[in-house]
Chains A and B, each alone.
Chain A
């Protein structure tokens, strides 16, 4: 069974701080996606990475796919209250997605 473990599970920081969340597995994935979910809504895709070592930037968010395609990280620079939400990673496997349990981020003004 393929599993994706996310850490930390919860993170509470002040506006302006930097943070990194991690998504790890013992399995290789063909792709890795990051979603953000706000309370009462469905997840929304932030990025997809498909190549080992790939780095993608989305404004203040930097996503990295591990060289072996088993892990990924999300780094947020100068976090803002609008970044608050549940961050989910999802690995592509045999046509479907396997989701991690998520990191719940709270950014306080």
Chain B
């Protein structure tokens, strides 16, 4: 099992360009998440999908869109990149399908995408 995979690993964009970050998991997990990690800010939730066919905003959704393509894949799109979106992006998945107790389930993280917007 590969676990959670993310592509690309590194990306440099110019302001205003668009791109899609890809994420896939092979653990048959119901829920998937996109986080960004910035120095001194910890991990902040951008969007999540509690189950196939549903998506919800997290703490910092502005400037991003997501698509839960199927149970395995959850993509994050930047329509018009800005320097403030320079960050490391992590995708994660968990077995739980949402609900109050889903926070007790282990989240499995991908290796991250390092994005620089100039």
Using a CB–CB distance below 8 Å, which chain A residues touch chain B? 29-31, 33, 40-45, 48, 50, 88, 90-97, 99-102
In contact, B92 and A94 (Cβ under 8 angstroms)? no
In the bound complex, what is the Cα–Cα distance between A90 and B103 (angstroms)?
Answer: 9
In contact, B101 and A30 (Cβ under 8 angstroms)? yes
Within B46-87, the residues touching A (CB, 8 Å) are 48, 50, 58
Give the most central of A44, A96, A100: most B CB within 10 Å.
A96
In contact, B104 and A42 (Cβ under 8 angstroms)? no
Report chain B residues within 8 Å CB of A45.
106-108
In contact, B107 and A95 (Cβ under 8 angstroms)? no
Q: Mark B86-110, 1 if CB is under 8 A from A, else 0.
A: 0000101000101111111011111
15 sample A-B contacts, Cβ–Cβ < 8 Å, listed by A number: A29-B103, A33-B106, A42-B109, A43-B90, A43-B109, A88-B43, A90-B43, A90-B107, A94-B103, A95-B50, A95-B96, A95-B98, A95-B99, A95-B100, A99-B42
Q: Let me know if B111 is at the binding interface, CB within 8 A.
A: yes
Q: Nearest CB to that of B3 among chain A residues? A: A42
Q: Nearest CB to that of A6 among chain B residues? A: B42
Q: Sort chain B's interface into a size bin.
A: 20 to 34
Give the most central of A42, A43, A50, A88: most B CB within 10 Å.
A42
Q: Nearest CB to that of B91 among chain A residues? A: A42
Q: Mark B30-52, 1 if CB is under 8 A from A, else 0.
A: 00010100001111110010100
Contact A96-B42, Cβ < 8 Å, known A42-B90, A44-B109? no
In contact, A96 and B102 (Cβ under 8 angstroms)? yes
Contact A91-B42, Cβ < 8 Å, known A42-B111, A96-B48? no
Q: Nearest CB to that of B40 among chain A residues? A: A101
Contact A92-B103, Cβ < 8 Å, known A42-B90, A44-B109? yes
In contact, A97 and B42 (Cβ under 8 angstroms)? no
Contact of B112 among A41, A97, A100 (CB under 8 A): A41
In the bound complex, what is the Cα–Cα distance between A93 and B45 (angstroms)?
Answer: 13
Q: Nearest CB to that of B107 among chain A residues? A: A97
In the bound complex, what is the Cα–Cα distance between A58 and B43 (angstroms)?
Answer: 24
10 closest cross-chain pairs (CB), A and B: A92-B103, A42-B109, A101-B42, A99-B43, A31-B104, A95-B102, A45-B106, A99-B42, A95-B98, A43-B109
